[in-house]
Structure 1
Amino acid sequence: MAFEAGLHPGTTWHKCDFQCHTPRDLHWAGSPGLPGGNEAAELARRQWADSFIAAAEAAKLKAIAVSDHHDICLSTYVLEAAQRRGSAVRVFPAVEITCSDNAQCIVIFDPAMDVETQKLVIGAAGNILAASSSEAKTCAIMPARKTVAEFVQAVQGEHHLRDASVILPHFSKEEDHKSLNAAGHHPRFANLPIDGVYIERPYTSLDAATLEKVRGTIGDWGKRRRAILATGDNRNADWSRLGVHDCWIKLGEHSIEAFRQALLADEARIAFEAPTSPTEYLVELCVKSTLTGPAPVRITFNDGFNAIIGGRGSGKSALLEYLRFGLGRTDKDFGATKVDPEFDREARLISETLAPDGYVEVVLEREGVRETWRRVLANSEVIIVSAAGRTIEVTTKIARERFRGRAFRQKGLSSTMNNPATASEQITGIAAAEEVDRERDIKRAIENGQRSVGTALINLAALWQSRVDLRQTTEKVEDLRQRIAALTKRLEEEGLSPEALKTIEDGPKYGRTNDYIRTVGDQARDAKVELDRLESAALTVELSAYEGAGDFEEAASLQQALSDAKSAIKSSFDAAKAALDVLATKQREAGESFEAKRAAFDIAYAAAVEEQGKHSNLIDEVARLNGERQTAEAAQARARSAELVKANAEKDYEDAVAQLDRLVGERRDILKSAADAVAGKSSNMLKARARRDRRPAQYLAALYKLFEASHTQSVEESCTDWVSRTLAADEVEGWAKLRQQFVGLYEAKIMAGSPPDASDGILSSLQTILFHGARQLTERQRKKIYQNLTDTTIAGIVAAVPDDSIIMSYIDDGRAIDFKMASPGQQASALLELLLKQSAGTLIIDQPEDDLDNRVIMRIVELLRTSKSTRQLIFTTHNANIVVNGDADKIVALKSPEPSSNPNNNSPRIQLDCDGAIETPAVSATITSIMEGGREAFDLRSRKYRFDLQV
């Protein structure tokens, strides 16, 4: 099937059965034979072939071989049926041969091979007389003249068969019928130049010894690894054994070359249980830039291993940089303010080539949901995400959370330690890649927890202030009461009439009563607003928001209970609000009634004052003091109310701090778990451990705030030493004790009334706390630091958290060395091995081989074959081992730029040459040309090494 350049899917999984018989087989049961020779007979054969394809489709098969015993007649009908029906089933013609040493082989042919060429196999076996194509059945099956070894040699020596067929000997358990796995066969099997065998039983039923023989781990049976294919050997019209033994094969083309490539990479391309694929992967990249020309470049990706190849200057790295941009994973997206000069070209690529009408579009799959992400330079702060008819804008940070994965530029793996400011974060991100979702959730919870701690501290400070206010207003009220009492006694001694004296004494009562009535009205209104808020926030869950939940009896029953609870709560709220309405009415009535009484009292009060004119000065002083007392009592009532409102502030603060500490501990546990897994996932090349942050940046930043404008010298150095000594003395509780000292100091300041000048006691305590008293500060410095004790600075201290990380050591000849001391090649190889053993989203790497020698690359190649089943891989590379031996599922080849002396040459820099699987002919030719230097160079190198290419 032809595909537009860039859109070849690469290899895909096919459930297969490569031993299927037809009614021509002598042991076929359930339907009559199918003679040929006339139109009716030919129609019957075609109808049977249609039914065969339908049965294969029903069995979920995608690849089959028609392999009658010593006969090739009906495979052509099945091939035509698949074409006629437009079926996705890939049909391979085949034949089963019984050799003279009582072992069977299946020969699989290229689907394009004509029948006459296929007959050469029967001739190569010797002593086989094939039945006429018009006969209903094959001839009697007698062993061929040649042994398996002789037969393989004959077929591979035939020019027309050698590259267009593959031989699979039968190699089941020792007791199985006509199998090479028998006593005395080991010398012949060991030397057979074949790449696979077939079995007629479930793969899981093979014993360990048989597997070891096939895999080349028992020397007497050869050191060559062979693939295994489980077949059904169906010979019945009920199709009961069609695909009965689970087997899947990964093919990129409908060709014998695809079949051969699958055998050569069986670890990655043959499976015996339903294969799994990543649930998140990139589907397509579309780029329009000045490098692509007027038409965008469009490339689809396989969900396995993708390799982008091309000569120098073909744009491989540029494509990956565009991909990083489309996914929100460039250095700038991660907040890099300074770009390593070595990678400045990649950083400038986006800004210089995407403007003005350029764009990057990425199609990706997330757990079955397909999304299109589009990003342009003019609005690069966001990525436009379209899915299921809905379009939203997300930040690059949200985009990275939405689609997991990691992307490394060229030499990115070997440069993780180059920047000390980001090295720890990078290493932690790589080591904890599989825990990224948990760690991200914990980090977000920590950020929320920090805000909660800050709010709780402010509320705690408000509680302290309300206590100060209550104490001060209480003292003032008592002072005024005593002064008023003294003046009243003096008036009495100077002859003020008892009636006037009582009137003057009653004045404050009226003021207090008026304040009480007004306060009741204010609180009734506030209570109603609060009830409305609480009612709207209570039990907001709705069953309709949980699609399908209502189908379950438990959920339906719970919904009824929820409705009943809502009704009961609404009734209670309605009753409470009705009570408040009654209270408000009573308050208005009381206010109106009392206002009349107060007006009458004001007249009597004025008359009393006028009557006692000679005492007017004292009476005025009493009136003034009564007014102050009324104001002070109102302030006292407000302070008392505030204290009641904030009564839980102390517990809330303790709970918020405990919760924040717990979250920090949980993150530390996640890092420890990730670190513990590093050794096993790096073949013990790395050792890792979770490390407590010894110099938490947030601790230091919070402490720096204390010293602002204090003219204290060497603050950063002193604070760093202070924090280090604090944590060294008590790693677990050191900071908690220090922050509590500051909270206590701040409480003392507030309880002292927050005077602008601190007392000697507070300044002394401050001196003891700062730098553990190791540094003597001037009085001026201490006073400024005292002034800096505010809600904001103390909240910053109590909410500060460490940024614990993972540190790694490289194991060099059994000796652990600091990872940063390992060579770039050692760093890159160890990290790449770790990444390939993780299941943590798409992994994108630009030319991973740059820091690896070929010995290391071959170990990485082995990992590529297994890793690609759990995470999508997208690499650019110049190394043939990575592409070919790593069995890339899809290869995208870019055209190398042609040298030109024309300065006005505006041809696109990025152009697609071809794409497909390794077995795709154009791709195979390009790999040979670009990566091996051509067939001639490959042959010459082979002769220099004394390798025999014909084996």
Structure 2
Amino acid sequence: MAEPTLEGLRLALLDGNRVSIRRSDDPHPFDPFALPEHFIETIEIDKARYMGRDRKASLNFSPWFNALIGGRGTGKSSVVHFSRLALRRESEMMDLNERSEPRTTFERFNRVPRSRIDEGGLQEDTIITLTLKRDGVRHFLHWPQSRDGIAVEEQDVDGREASASQSITSERFPVRIFSQGQIAALADESQQALLSVIDEEASTSVQKAILDESRDQFLALQSQVRALDVKLQGHDALTVQIDDVKRKLQRFEEAHHAEILKGYQHRNRQRREIDRQFNTIENMAQQVEVFADTLMSEDIPDGLFDAIKAEEKDALGIVAALAEAVCAAESTVRESAKNLRSAVVAQRSELAKTAWQLAVDKAGSDYQTLVNILKKQGVTDPSEYGRLVQERQRLDGEEKRLVSLKNQRDRVVEHAQVQLEKVWEARREIYRTRQKFLDQTLARNPFVRIGLLPYGRDPLMAERSLRDVLGVSFDKYKEIIFLPMEGDEQAKGLVAELHRSLPESVSRATDEIENRLRQMHKRLMKACQNSGDFGARFNKFLLAESSKRPDMLDRIMTWFPEDTLQIQYSRLGDGKDFQPIIQASAGQRAAAMLAFLLAHGKEPLILDQPEDDLDNHLIYDLVVRQIRENKSERQIIVVTHNPNIVVNGDAEMVHALNFSGGQCRVAQSGSLQEKSMREEVCQVMEGGREAFERRYRRLGREVNDV
């Protein structure tokens, strides 16, 4: 209702219970002053080609049910297009088939014409402002054709100011917009549009973000493995070098000088370790001195304290005491560094006097004597042993480094496997979230049922997705990837094998598909390494492709077919005799999708001519009833030519549009309790009172004659 009047009360009494009258003993709670969490208040169109060119066009909306009516070409659908632009939902149209009617219509509208005869509903200076309430806060969304300026403003007690975030997304401003063409596209063969709607309503963005993050972490770990593999490439060659050096050293050891040689090697390793210990302490002393350089107090800014004042003099004294403490600490730290250096010098001196040092010197002397003996025995290069010993030491160090890298690689591989399982679990969680939403939303819906099949049963969609991952064009390797069934010949290829002869139980079928997916991943990975069972030509292609894309193997391991939907509709809308949607007429398909859209959600819903393709009984049983049931909990804006939707849906706000002076204008706005508004509705939607009464009298006489 608008302002309370006797006429409004009379109309409410005519509507009856559960429509415009609510009894105090009604078991269903009802708060007439409750508002939806999100609703659109107004939309202003300024300087569009056919609207708002001479003066701004402004439409105010009720938080509940709004109807836009008018003849053809009066701008009703344009208001929907303007809303889509203001809410930055152009991508929803771009996701449709490029030849689909709703997309081509929007593309013709969403452009600036270059000439008077060119298509386009915008101008260079077009500005759209959409005002909406979000959790009690008024927001202003601006869409200028130039794309410059502030996009989002918020209003508070002090007025309007730019929002801290200028982002306009469906998560921040949840509004659903559907034209009749979009509704029809939801049930097409690809099902991708409907799945996107389900994801948005089920809020799978969190689960998808987790999946993306898990996949990215897995890809990062696999990248580390590849980097470590590059570093480990010299491991085999190093093993050969070590064996060669060992064989050469064996000549010397077989001359019964092994004890001297081993003693020399052992003392050399001890000496290097002692040197490393001393060097470490020297580095510590240097680090302590560097730290001491940072210990200094900061001066108080000039003029901040007055030393003459007693109370401030005390504070300055405390600060001075702190400065002295810092200075003392700095001295102590420097003294510690000095002590460390002194300890190094003293202990080096002590080390030179130890029995161990004598043993080291003796091992060196014995080794030199051995070298001289070997020279006398005719060894061509007596110094070779020393070089070989040094080479063996270097190779041992390199081997230790590579062993450490190998151990690191093993740990990363193990971590990657754990992360891969997290990717699988994240993918399963997306399915579970979707299924939970469908179960809750359509539990008792008499018009439509939607089942969800994990990892899909649509071979064409799976084929497209797999080809994208492999980088294979659609005209190649059909028998390997997917070749549809022809006559008595079964479908062939990886996709066909994935879906063939699955158990009827969804849970068992899911387990089976997961097992087949893992086997498929392994086969493709082998093929990328040119050792698969697909044939030399396909293996060679994948080998070349994986060499160009190092992460191709990893993306294969994280590839999953998309879930598919099983949509069923009730022929009579009575919750019985559900049939596959593919057997439905255009009207039945539209009814099923409309039943789904109206069955869930609290966000504003904008529908552009939803009655197209629907039978009249479906318009009343489905659209009108659902609007009545939902409008107290969510805002609904409908563009329509059907009087049943406006009148029996009990629209709180009606905008009647017309075309005059080359512009689409709002001829009249108001509620149905206003007589002038009812007459306008009758004129626009029924052809006037006389035409309506004559049609009613003729229909009434025919009914009485039966």
TM-score normalised to the size of structure 1? 0.54
- 2:632 counterpart of 1:874: no
- Show CA shifts across 1:334-362 (max 9, x none): 54572425652322212223342212222
- 2:250 counterpart of 1:486: yes
**Map of 1:156 onto structure 2:** none
* Partner Cα separation in structure 2 for residue 524 and residue 680 of structure 1: 74
Secondary structure, counterpart of 2:181 in structure 1: coil
**Map of 1:130 onto structure 2:** none
Correspondence 1:743-762 to 2 at 5 A: none
CA 1:917–1:500 in structure 2 vs 1: closer, same or farther (change >3 Å)? closer
What one-letter code is carried by the residue in structure 1 that aligns with 2:555?
A: G
**Map of 1:260 onto structure 2:** 10
Residue pair 1:253, 1:920 contacting (<8 A) in 2 also: no
What one-letter code is carried by the residue in structure 1 that aligns with 2:83?
A: L
Deviates more, 1:734-743 or 1:661-670: 734-743
Residue pair 1:462, 1:646 contacting (<8 A) in 2 also: no
**Map of 2:142 onto structure 1:** 374
Residue pair 2:672, 2:678 contacting (<8 A) in 1 also: yes
Residue segments in structure 1 that go unaligned for 5+ positions in a row: 1-250, 527-577, 750-757, 768-772, 898-906
* Partner Cα separation in structure 1 for residue 585 and residue 285 of structure 2: 74
**Map of 1:295 onto structure 2:** 55
Displacement, 1:867?
1.3
Cα RMSD for the two superposed structures: 4.9
Correspondence 1:685-700 to 2 at 5 A: 685-692=447-454, 693-694=456-457, 695=459
Displacement, 1:792?
0.9
What one-letter code is carried by the residue in structure 1 that aligns with 2:163?
A: T
- 2:175 counterpart of 1:425: no
Residue pair 1:361, 1:372 contacting (<8 A) in 2 also: yes
Displacement, 1:890?
0.6
* Partner Cα separation in structure 2 for residue 303 and residue 641 of structure 1: 67
Residue pair 1:404, 1:840 contacting (<8 A) in 2 also: no
What one-letter code is carried by the residue in structure 2 that aligns with 1:812?
A: R
* Partner Cα separation in structure 1 for residue 589 and residue 36 of structure 2: 27
TM-score normalised to the size of structure 2? 0.70
**Map of 2:298 onto structure 1:** none
- 2:40 counterpart of 1:270: no
Displacement, 1:321?
0.7
* Partner Cα separation in structure 2 for residue 362 and residue 837 of structure 1: 26
Correspondence 1:338-357 to 2 at 5 A: 338-341=98-101, 343-352=103-112, 353-357=121-125
What one-letter code is carried by the residue in structure 1 that aligns with 2:694?
A: L
Displacement, 1:725?
0.8
CA 1:372–1:639 in structure 2 vs 1: closer, same or farther (change >3 Å)? farther
What one-letter code is carried by the residue in structure 1 that aligns with 2:18?
A: E
- Show CA shifts across 1:511-536 (max 9, x none): 7877899899999999xxxxxxxxxx
- 2:493 counterpart of 1:721: yes
CA 1:508–1:737 in structure 2 vs 1: closer, same or farther (change >3 Å)? farther
**Map of 2:598 onto structure 1:** 836
**Map of 1:409 onto structure 2:** 179
* Partner Cα separation in structure 2 for residue 274 and residue 779 of structure 1: 67
What one-letter code is carried by the residue in structure 1 that aligns with 2:510?
A: V
Displacement, 1:457?
3.8
* Partner Cα separation in structure 2 for residue 308 and residue 448 of structure 1: 44
CA 1:513–1:623 in structure 2 vs 1: closer, same or farther (change >3 Å)? farther
Displacement, 1:934?
1.5
Displacement, 1:390?
4.4
What one-letter code is carried by the residue in structure 2 that aligns with 1:890?
A: M
What one-letter code is carried by the residue in structure 1 that aligns with 2:655?
A: V
- Show CA shifts across 1:745-775 (max 9, x none): 89999xxxxxxxx9xxx86xx33xxxxx4x4
What one-letter code is carried by the residue in structure 2 that aligns with 1:839?
A: G
Correspondence 1:49-128 to 2 at 5 A: none
**Map of 1:282 onto structure 2:** 40
* Partner Cα separation in structure 2 for residue 743 and residue 270 of structure 1: 62
**Map of 1:96 onto structure 2:** none
Of residues 621, 631, 656, the one that matches 1:893 is: 656
Correspondence 1:490-639 to 2 at 5 A: 618-619=381-382, 621-639=384-402
- Show CA shifts across 1:462-481 (max 9, x none): 67788x67974883575255
* Partner Cα separation in structure 1 for residue 235 and residue 516 of structure 2: 29
* Partner Cα separation in structure 2 for residue 285 and residue 689 of structure 1: 38
**Map of 2:211 onto structure 1:** 446
CA 1:319–1:798 in structure 2 vs 1: closer, same or farther (change >3 Å)? same
- 2:431 counterpart of 1:659: no
* Partner Cα separation in structure 1 for residue 466 and residue 150 of structure 2: 32
Deviates more, 1:830-839 or 1:869-878: 830-839
Residue segments in structure 2 that go unaligned for 5+ positions in a row: 25-29, 113-120, 288-332, 484-490, 503-508
CA 1:392–1:404 in structure 2 vs 1: closer, same or farther (change >3 Å)? same
What one-letter code is carried by the residue in structure 2 that aligns with 1:853?
A: D
Of residues 936, 940, 944, the one that matches 2:690 is: 936
Of residues 616, 619, 638, the one that matches 1:857 is: 619
Displacement, 1:849?
1.7
What one-letter code is carried by the residue in structure 2 that aligns with 1:444?
A: A
Of residues 560, 574, 579, the one that matches 1:817 is: 579
Residue pair 1:808, 1:819 contacting (<8 A) in 2 also: yes
Displacement, 1:939?
2.2
Residue pair 2:127, 2:143 contacting (<8 A) in 1 also: yes
- Show CA shifts across 1:807-844 (max 9, x none): 20123365443313311111122222332232341111
CA 1:828–1:791 in structure 2 vs 1: closer, same or farther (change >3 Å)? same
Secondary structure, counterpart of 1:401 in structure 2: coil
Displacement, 1:800?
1.8
* Partner Cα separation in structure 2 for residue 841 and residue 688 of structure 1: 21
What one-letter code is carried by the residue in structure 1 that aligns with 2:100?
A: D
What one-letter code is carried by the residue in structure 2 that aligns with 1:404?
A: P
Which protein has the larger Cα radius of gyration, Structure 1 or Structure 2?
A: 1
Of residues 659, 672, 680, the one that matches 1:926 is: 680
Of residues 670, 678, 683, the one that matches 1:916 is: 670
Displacement, 1:803?
1.8
* Partner Cα separation in structure 1 for residue 273 and residue 236 of structure 2: 19
- 2:127 counterpart of 1:363: no
CA 1:810–1:934 in structure 2 vs 1: closer, same or farther (change >3 Å)? same
- Show CA shifts across 1:685-733 (max 9, x none): 2232111313496787567666879x98445437982133134367434
Secondary structure, counterpart of 1:351 in structure 2: coil
Secondary structure, counterpart of 2:696 in structure 1: helix
CA 1:885–1:471 in structure 2 vs 1: closer, same or farther (change >3 Å)? same
Of residues 475, 487, 495, the one that matches 2:239 is: 475
Secondary structure, counterpart of 1:665 in structure 2: helix
Displacement, 1:320?
0.5
Displacement, 1:869?
1.0
Secondary structure, counterpart of 1:851 in structure 2: coil
Residue pair 1:487, 1:618 contacting (<8 A) in 2 also: no
**Map of 2:303 onto structure 1:** none
Of residues 70, 87, 90, the one that matches 1:330 is: 90
Secondary structure, counterpart of 2:429 in structure 1: helix
Residue pair 1:843, 1:874 contacting (<8 A) in 2 also: yes
Secondary structure, counterpart of 2:593 in structure 1: helix
**Map of 1:312 onto structure 2:** 72
- Show CA shifts across 1:418-471 (max 9, x none): 5x34xx1233345666x422x2222222222222332344456667788x6797
What one-letter code is carried by the residue in structure 1 that aligns with 2:202?
A: V
Deviates more, 1:845-854 or 1:379-388: 379-388
Residue pair 1:825, 1:852 contacting (<8 A) in 2 also: yes
Residue pair 2:183, 2:594 contacting (<8 A) in 1 also: yes
Secondary structure, counterpart of 1:427 in structure 2: helix
Residue pair 1:305, 1:868 contacting (<8 A) in 2 also: yes
Number of residue pairs matched by the alignment: 595
Residue pair 1:609, 1:619 contacting (<8 A) in 2 also: no
* Partner Cα separation in structure 1 for residue 138 and residue 285 of structure 2: 54
* Partner Cα separation in structure 2 for residue 797 and residue 522 of structure 1: 49
